[in-house]
Amino acid sequence: MDTRFNLFENEFGGRFAKRFAGAGALVHQSALPKSTQELVSLRAGQINGCGFCVDMHAKEAAAAGESAVRLHLVAAWRESTVFTEAERAALALAEEGTRLADAHEGVSDETWDRVREHYDDDQVAALVCLVALSNAANRLAVITHQRGGSYEAGMFAELMD
């Protein structure tokens, strides 16, 4: 599978990427814990089969000090003991918010209630926006065949300015 198109090398795509990264920077600067942000983004990428995003979020999380055990268990978080209740609520929201076509109700009331138990209004807003942005990024990368493996932690830091 070869990369189909490089959005960053296209004038319009580059301008869009800068604005998209700005939205991501806003979420990154929020009070939502950074580890939760990376775990949620990693899980959305896994569900969507986005190798580039899985590569990016695993490496960013590792660079920020996340343990290899937790990173390896994100795909099986329900059957794991290494995540807090708050992280489990965020991962459930990420899954249900990513698999909208698979569930007639989208995000369940049970998951929403668990998220509200653990996060304040600003964190909930950041979490909802993060799930939406992660899914959009997955689609951009999958459509254009961006492959995982070459990402280096901090690679897009200049876009966040």
For 147-159, write each residue's pLDDT tens digit: 898 888 887 776 5
Contact call for residues 38 and 57 (beta carbons, < 8 A): yes
Per-residue pLDDT, 155? 79
The pTM (predicted TM-score) of the whole model is 0.93
What is the mean predicted confidence (pLDDT) over 129-149? 95
Contact call for residues 37 and 130 (beta carbons, < 8 A): yes
Calpha distance 51→56 (Å, rounded)? 8
Structure tokens at 48: 């969507």
Structure tokens at 27: 């979420």
The crossing angle, in degrees rounded to 10, of helices 121-143 and 109-118 is 120
Structure tokens at 149: 């493996």
pLDDT in tens, 11-58: 999 999 989 999 999 999 999 999 999 999 999 999 999 999 999 999
Contact call for residues 51 and 149 (beta carbons, < 8 A): yes
Integer Rg of the chain from CA? 15
